[in-house]
Amino acid sequence: MPKLTLYHAAPSRSSIVHWMLEELGEPYDIHLVSFKKGENLKPEYLAINPMGKLPAIRHGDTVVTEAAAICTYLADEFPHAQLNIPVGDPARGVYLKWLFFGPSCVEPAITERAFPRKEPPARSTLGFGDYDTVMNVLAKGAGAADPYLMGKQFTAADVIIGSGLRWGMMFKLIPDRPEFTAYAGRLSERPALKRATERDAKLQKEQEGAS
């Protein structure tokens, strides 16, 4: 069985993958990388992710970076966990849409809200279009989630969209629409998310104590 390692700073975007790994239920190791000590920009870590960013995973000889790519990879690599919609299933298109909508639309829309540009470029030139449209599409998806984006099956798409939503709501960059609070509330009941969040709090203390 190839070894699975998460390169992690708690809490950060690597917490998305931490949650995913807890949902997966496969054994994994955590390799902590300290931003404070600049470890993400040292040659050892740049050999893993030349972007100097977390998360990254190593699975045997395979290295994957980018949170949504990692979640897609893990869901496909361990299909028995039933966190993916497999190739050949007509629902895979919508599933992939949500996996890409997270990093391509939700994240840039909320970052734009947090750090507005003086002269925003034309909507047509921005991959995410505009904040209000992203929120409306997201609200439609979250509102239709019964109980999850893909229906009864919880998938990697919920980890990606749910993480963006939770993060955005925490920093008041996403409005408290009833569709969002209901869906995010259901996600917060996931035992895997509770485990990852609790462990992140401990890891954060450990990391701060060590610096």
For ligand GSH, which is the closer residue by CB, 146 or 206? 206
Residue 66 C-beta: closest distance to ligand GSH, Å? 5
Q: What is the 3-state secondary structure (H, E, C) of the chain?
A: CCCEEEEECCCCCHHHHHHHHHHHCCCCEEEECCCCCCHHHCHHHHCCCCCCCCCEEEECCEEEECHHHHHHHHHHHCHHHCCCCCCCCCCHHHHHHHHHHHHHHHHHHHHHHHCCCCCCCCHHHCCCCCHHHHHHHHHHHHHHCCCECCECCCCHHHHHHHHHHHHHHHCCCCCCCHHHHHHHHHHHCCHHHHHHHHHHHHHHHHHHHHC
For ligand GSH, which is the closer residue by CB, 127 or 185? 127
**Identity at 153, one-letter amino acid code:** Q
Residue 67 C-beta: closest distance to ligand GSH, Å? 4
For ligand GSH, which is the closer residue by CB, 82 or 111? 111
Residue 15 C-beta: closest distance to ligand GSH, Å? 8
Residue 12 C-beta: closest distance to ligand GSH, Å? 4
For ligand GSH, which is the closer residue by CB, 12 or 84? 12
For ligand GSH, which is the closer residue by CB, 32 or 177? 32
Residue 53 C-beta: closest distance to ligand GSH, Å? 4
At which residue do the structure tokens 């890409």 appear?
100
Residue 80 C-beta: closest distance to ligand GSH, Å? 25
Binding site for ligand GSH (CB under 6 A): 12-13, 35, 40, 52-55, 66-67, 103
For ligand GSH, which is the closer residue by CB, 54 or 196? 54
Strand pairing class (4-8; 56-59): antiparallel
